[in-house]
């Protein structure tokens, strides 16, 4: 794609561009020397992608675990070899810094290698006892899996949406984001470079206005057996409802209003560091970002002072992904200020673009403010001060979201006991809310979705169970 000005689709191993330039979208965050357009899918191209995948499935599903493992280890090496190129494109497309690009690339290599190692031992069957004869429980791949990936961690979330399904013997279609089209194209092309057969992974993009049509074409096609989606709760509801009408299961990782609980016995310097890291890494645009801090009145003033001391040393105002994202952040902050909150930003932070937004700490956050309920998905964190730990627990148990959380306490037993009352997919003790690894399951409770990505839990999402009994 080096000389192309338009990012293509990949169908049946081939780059696809419309000769009529039909449905070509404009790249939102163009960079010098980069493509200005991307090829959007039409109804016919979406059907071609499904048909290609369906054709590839019978052969791919019969490959041995060792054959698949070999290809995945090769994929990991290809990603290592092209890491600098992919990280550079990622930084330019989503305005992230080198640290975030490094994290999501290294974790992606780990994810691929973890699945490669698990292929021969996970998603296998069993032989349970039955009264007469022999019983066998077999695990089989589903068919074609649709993976819908977001822009905010495009390398790891793009790969996560398709690696587990393919490792389990399925074939997949990666539907990438129009906000990170080149990064997602490069990831899909790695499978081709690593030697995966045509059709095992196809790649689609579409313009935002075409999303309803293209998703309907895909989810209602009989060859598509499951969909996984990472993105907002609002869109997740639409995905789930349409998939339900087609009787297709879905795996959803959705929004999160992630909180850090700071107990009276906490190391407040540690708490301040972990809160600011969790709130401002990748400009606060991570599903696990710290949105809210819950602290007792006994420690809140000292904690706030330490957080604001860190805030004052920040010298740049990061860019968020779009003008719409900036407008949402400005609305949330303005609403909180109008209702009595205090707004703190770094005096040294300089933003030179229309999408710059300063790291922001909101103190005096109350339930009357929109920021209390709405996920900011940007570099904004609110601090709630409560009288007792019991009141903190009450707030926790009323939460609609449940993706990630953290507790800062010197008393590990106390923290573990509190972790049991938190309805979230992850609770990190003495660490920030942003934490995921290739060996761990990842997913949420409530409005944060259902199902689990990651390790053996992720493989088990993409197989079905069959019982075979053998009688004399």
Alpha-carbon distance of 358 to 348, in angstroms, equals 10
DSSP state of 320: P
**Helix or strand (DSSP H, E) at 203:** strand 201-204
Alpha-carbon distance of 145 to 163, in angstroms, equals 11
CA 10 from chain center: how many Å?
A: 22
DSSP state of 8: P
Q: Please, what is the angle between helix 83-94 and helix 65-81, to 10°?
A: 70
User: Tell me, what's the pLDDT at 21?
Assistant: 83
Q: What is the pLDDT of residues 252-310, one digit of tens each?
A: 999 999 999 999 999 999 999 999 999 999 999 999 999 999 999 999 999 999 999 99
Domain with CATH 3.40.605.10 in the chain: 6-254+446-470
- Copy the structure tokens of residue 14: 């081939």
Strand order in the sheet with 24-26: 6-7, 37-39, 24-26
Active site (catalytic) residues:
253
Residue 402 pLDDT more than 90? yes
**Residue appearing with tokens 């992608």:** 49
pTM value is 0.95
CB 267 within 8 A of CB 408: yes
- Copy the structure tokens of residue 8: 């293509």
**CATH class label, 259-429:** alpha beta
CB 82 within 8 A of CB 190: yes
CB 410 within 8 A of CB 266: yes
In terms of CATH, what superfamily is 6-254+446-470?
Aldehyde Dehydrogenase; Chain A, domain 1 (3.40.605.10)
Q: What is the pLDDT of residues 423-434, one digit of tens each?
A: 999 999 999 999
Task: Look at residues 141, 142, 127 and name the one whose alpha carbon lies nearest to residue 469.
Answer: 127
Strand order in the sheet with 201-204: 14-16, 9-11, 201-204, 171-175, 144-148, 224-230, 250-253, 449-450
- Copy the structure tokens of residue 383: 């601090």
- Copy the structure tokens of residue 202: 């196809």
In which band, very low, low, confident or very high, does the pLDDT at 332 lie, cut at 50, 70 and 90?
very high
* Torsion of Cα atoms, 262 then 264 then 270 then 276, to 10°: 30
Would you call 429 helix, strand, or coil by DSSP?
Answer: strand
Q: What is the pLDDT of residues 366-400, one digit of tens each?
A: 999 999 999 999 999 999 999 999 999 999 999 99
User: Tell me, what's the pLDDT at 123?
Assistant: 63
Domain with CATH 3.40.309.10 in the chain: 259-429
Strands 360-363 and 342-344 turn out to be antiparallel
């Amino acid at each position: 794609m080096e000389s192309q000005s338009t990012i293509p689709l990949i169908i049946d191993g081939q780059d696809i561009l419309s000769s009529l330039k039909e449905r070509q979208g404009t790249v939102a965050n163009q960079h010098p020397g980069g493509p200005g357009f991307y090829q959007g899918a039409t109804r016919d191209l979406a059907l071609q992608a499904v048909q290609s995948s369906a054709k590839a499935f019978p052969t791919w599903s019969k490959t041995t675990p060792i054959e698949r493992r070999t290809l995945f280890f090769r994929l990991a090496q290809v990603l290592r070899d092209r890491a600098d190129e992919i990280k550079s494109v990622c930084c330019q497309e989503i305005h992230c810094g080198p640290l975030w690009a490094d994290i999501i690339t290294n974790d992606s290599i780990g994810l691929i290698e973890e699945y490669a190692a698990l292929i021969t031992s996970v998603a296998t069957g069993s032989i349970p006892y039955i009264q007469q004869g022999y019983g066998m429980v077999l695990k089989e791949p589903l068919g074609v899996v649709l993976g819908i990936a977001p822009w905010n961690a495009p390398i790891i979330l793009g790969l996560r949406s398709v690696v587990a399904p393919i490792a389990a013997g399925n074939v997949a279609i990666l539907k990438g984001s129009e906000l990170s089209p080149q990064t997602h194209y490069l990831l899909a092309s790695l499978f081709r470079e690593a030697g995966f057969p045509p059709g095992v992974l196809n790649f689609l993009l579409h313009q935002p206005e075409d999303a309803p049509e293209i998703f309907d074409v895909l989810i209602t096609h009989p060859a598509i057996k499951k969909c996984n989606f990472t993105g907002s709760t609002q869109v997740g509801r639409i995905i789930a409802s349409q998939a339900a009408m087609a009787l297709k299961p879905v795996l959803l990782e959705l929004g999160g209003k992630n909180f850090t609980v700071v107990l009276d016995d906490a190391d407040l310097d540690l708490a301040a560091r972990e809160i600011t890291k969790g709130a401002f890494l990748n400009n606060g645009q991570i599903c696990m970002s710290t949105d809210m801090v819950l602290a007792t009145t006994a420690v809140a003033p000292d904690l706030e002072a330490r957080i604001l001391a860190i805030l004052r040393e920040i010298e740049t105002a990061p860019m968020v992904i779009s003008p719409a994202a900036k407008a949402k952040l400005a609305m949330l902050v303005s609403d909180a200020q109008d209702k009595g909150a205090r707004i703190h930003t770094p005096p040294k932070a300089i933003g030179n673009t229309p999408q710059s937004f300063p790291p922001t700490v909101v103190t005096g956050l109350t339930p009357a403010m929109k920021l209390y309920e709405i996920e900011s998905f940007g570099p904004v964190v609110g601090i709630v001060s409560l009288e007792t730990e019991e009141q903190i627990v009450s707030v926790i148990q009323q939460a609609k979201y449940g993706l990630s959380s953290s507790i800062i306490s010197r008393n590990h037993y106390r923290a573990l006991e509190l972790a049991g009352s938190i309805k979230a997919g992850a609770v990190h003790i003495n660490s920030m809310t942003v934490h995921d690894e290739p060996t761990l399951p990842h997913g949420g409770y409530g409005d944060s979705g259902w199902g689990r990505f990651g390790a053996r839990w992720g493989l088990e999402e993409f197989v079905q169970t069959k019982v075979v009994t053998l009688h004399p």
